């Protein structure tokens, strides 16, 4: 049979961000795929060396639009560790509150995207309507829907009054009901099952070999979550489950993400109910002493790791960022092998692409 | 999950015992780095065998990433692993013309990290057949962009 080459991207209705694929098809079956990254490469790591530590918080927030807060938080944790500074508990809790809200936002956004890509527009509309609720909460908290600029070195620049806190809790009650509805759809809706079950399967052994993290790994049975495995405050006193499934297909990943969103809403409630009194920020020394720090956090897509080296000047000598999407992207050629052309959209959506994260 | 080491001290003991047994003639400098990592200095030639010990003997298979850093004198390579606590293997390579054995035979997940370091720092990973550009454009003809010498930068010291 003749082989046909089908390009997907860099601009394509499937893709929210530019990414290029060259698929080779035999009939309807993909026999080879070549992927090209780098269309949104902005040279963030190099730019970090030209900016002060505080300026870098705002730069690194823009590595990704959806997980902006967790990037800034991981960076701040690394720099605060270098300075030997401890953020007050109220500040730590507020950071975690935004991390969890961001997780809900990311998963709802993704649910809408994958629903759109399989033609299930109703769920796209519902998920993105509910996402608006989360964005409104984040805007009331920080002033920005997507880019929050909440972190400073030594804590956060926002605070909550009791009235504001109760307003957020009321919104979370409504959000909870809506997400449970979406979870019901994912669990029972036959068209979603037909499109996503058995597609893009990754075994646990492949997860190990490719060092995959996040919901993609958890959907294949890997029981990891940095919030639970390396519990930093406030996660050391909060109760939450980590959803694990073993099917390893796109449906399992959908289940993991929506269940994680449910857990995150519960975490937000717990944080708000037990918010410690006190300062939200602490004064930090003028100069960052020379040294290295390695900081890891659980972003919506998995483990994000920052390596920061200071040489005692006002600008970092090296900031290395590895984002979780990169670990899923490396599995795509294997996932796309022998997949039907019609399932390519499902496979690509299933890994929760965040190309801005991968390219930096 | 129950076999994940949960503290830095336990990780240090576990890994150092295995290394001392496997490389009896070598001395490894260990230091602790915040937030919860230990960093073990390994000669460049022993890096791939050391990784084999971590992966095959100790079950520490998760490679978080590989960092390369131009310190002005050499390229500082760090291989970050995670197993309930962080363990990082570090080594030094010369600024130009350097090469090191690839990890992709043992850990296919290292593929993208090695490609990025090759294009950004010029380090050749021997045995890695796919060192094509990952982030830089196909028609890039300039020097490796993250090397300080490529940008007229020097390593400033306070």
Are the beta carbons of A77 and B35 separated by less than 8 Å?
Answer: yes
What are the tokens at A86? Answer: 């401890």
Hey, which residues does A29 pair with through a beta bridge? A26, A340
**pLDDT over 60 at B54, yes or no:** yes
A36/chain B closest Cα distance in angstroms: 7
Respond yes or no on whether ipTM tops 0.85. Answer: yes
pLDDT of amino acid A309: 93
pLDDT of amino acid B157: 56
Distances (CA, A) of A249 to A198, B60, B81: 5, 25, 26
**pTM (2 decimals)?**
0.92
What average pLDDT is seen over chain B? 85
Nearest to B135 among A41, A224, A303 (CB): A41
Whether the CB-CB separation of A343 and A28 falls below 8 Å is answered with no
pLDDT of amino acid A150: 92
pLDDT of amino acid B76: 92
Distance of CA B118 to the CA centre of its chain: 13
Selection from B76, B105, B50 nearest residue A320 by Cα: B76
Using only C-alpha atoms, what is the Rg of chain A?
A: 21
B107/chain A closest Cα distance in angstroms: 6
Are the beta carbons of B133 and A292 separated by less than 8 Å?
Answer: no
B111 touches chain A (CB under 8 A): yes
3-class secondary-structure state, position A35 = strand
Q: Does residue A119 come out as left (phi exceeding 0), alpha (psi in the -120 to 50 range) or beta?
A: left
pLDDT of amino acid A323: 92
Are the beta carbons of B63 and A287 separated by less than 8 Å?
Answer: no
Q: Note down pLDDT in tens along chain A; length 360 residues.
A: 788 999 987 888 888 889 898 999 998 999 998 989 989 999 899 999 999 999 999 999 999 888 899 999 999 999 999 999 999 999 999 999 999 999 999 999 999 999 998 889 999 999 999 999 999 999 999 998 988 889 999 999 989 999 999 999 999 999 999 999 999 988 999 989 999 998 888 999 999 999 999 999 999 999 888 888 888 888 888 988 999 999 889 999 999 999 999 999 999 999 999 999 898 899 988 888 999 999 999 999 999 999 999 988 889 999 999 999 999 998 998 888 888 998 998 999 888 888 888 888
pLDDT of amino acid B139: 86
Nearest to A38 among B70, B111, B135 (CB): B135
pLDDT of amino acid B151: 72
pLDDT of amino acid B2: 41
């Amino acid at each position: 049979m003749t082989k046909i080459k089908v390009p997907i991207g860099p601009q394509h209705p499937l893709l929210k961000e530019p990414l290029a694929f060259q698929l080779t098809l035999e009939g309807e079956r993909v026999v080879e795929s070549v992927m090209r990254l780098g269309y949104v490469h902005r040279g963030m790591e190099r730019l970090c060396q030209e900016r002060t530590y505080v300026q870098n918080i705002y730069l690194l927030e823009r590595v990704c639009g959806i997980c902006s807060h967790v990037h800034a938080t991981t960076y701040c944790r690394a720099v605060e560790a270098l300075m030997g500074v401890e953020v007050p508990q109220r500040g730590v809790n507020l950071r975690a509150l935004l991390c969890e809200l961001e997780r809900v936002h990311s998963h709802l956004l993704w649910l809408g995207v994958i629903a759109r890509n399989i033609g299930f527009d109703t769920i796209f509309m519902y998920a993105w309507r509910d996402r608006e609720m989360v964005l409104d909460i984040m805007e009331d908290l920080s002033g920005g829907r997507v880019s929050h600029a909440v972190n400073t070195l030594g804590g956060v620049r926002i605070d909550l009054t009791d009235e504001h806190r109760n307003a957020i809790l009321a919104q979370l009650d409504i959000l909870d009901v809506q997400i449970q509805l979406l979870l019901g759809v994912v669990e029972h809706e036959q068209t979603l099952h037909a499109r996503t079950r058995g597609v893009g399967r990754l075994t646990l052994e492949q997860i190990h070999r490719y060092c995959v993290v996040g919901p993609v790994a958890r959907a294949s049975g890997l029981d990891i979550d940095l919030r639970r495995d390396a519990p930093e405050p406030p996660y050391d006193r909060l109760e939450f489950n980590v959803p694990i499934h073993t099917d390893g297909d796109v449906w399992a990943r959908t289940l993991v993400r929506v269940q994680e969103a449910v857990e995150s809403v519960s975490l937000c409630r717990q944080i708000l109910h037990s918010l410690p009194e006190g300062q939200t920020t602490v004064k930090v020394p003028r100069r960052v002493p020379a040294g290295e720090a390695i900081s890891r956090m659980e972003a919506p897509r998995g483990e994000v790791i920052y390596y920061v080296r200071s040489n005692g000047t006002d600008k970092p000598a090296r900031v290395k960022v590895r984002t979780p999407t990169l670990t899923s992207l490396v599995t795509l050629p294997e996932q796309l092998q022998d997949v039907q052309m019609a399932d390519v959209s499902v496979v690509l959506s299933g890994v929760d692409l965040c190309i801005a994260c991968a390219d930096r | 999950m129950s076999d994940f080491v949960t503290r830095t001290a336990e990780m240090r003991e576990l890994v150092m015992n295995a290394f001392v047994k496997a490389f009896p003639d070598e001395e490894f400098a260990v230091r602790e780095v915040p937030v919860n990592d230990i960093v073990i200095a390994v000669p460049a030639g022993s890096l791939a065998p050391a990784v084999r010990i971590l992966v095959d003997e100790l079950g520490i298979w998760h490679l978080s990433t590989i960092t390369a850093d131009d310190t002005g004198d050499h390229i500082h390579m760090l291989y970050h692993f995670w197993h309930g606590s962080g363990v990082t293997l570090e080594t030094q390579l010369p600024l130009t013309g350097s090469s090191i054995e690839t990890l992709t035979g043992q850990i296919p997940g290292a593929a993208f990290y090695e490609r990025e370091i090759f294009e950004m720092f010029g380090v050749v990973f021997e045995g890695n057949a796919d060192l094509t550009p990952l982030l830089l454009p196909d028609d890039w003809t300039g020097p490796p962009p993250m090397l300080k010498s490529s940008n007229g930068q020097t390593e400033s010291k306070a």
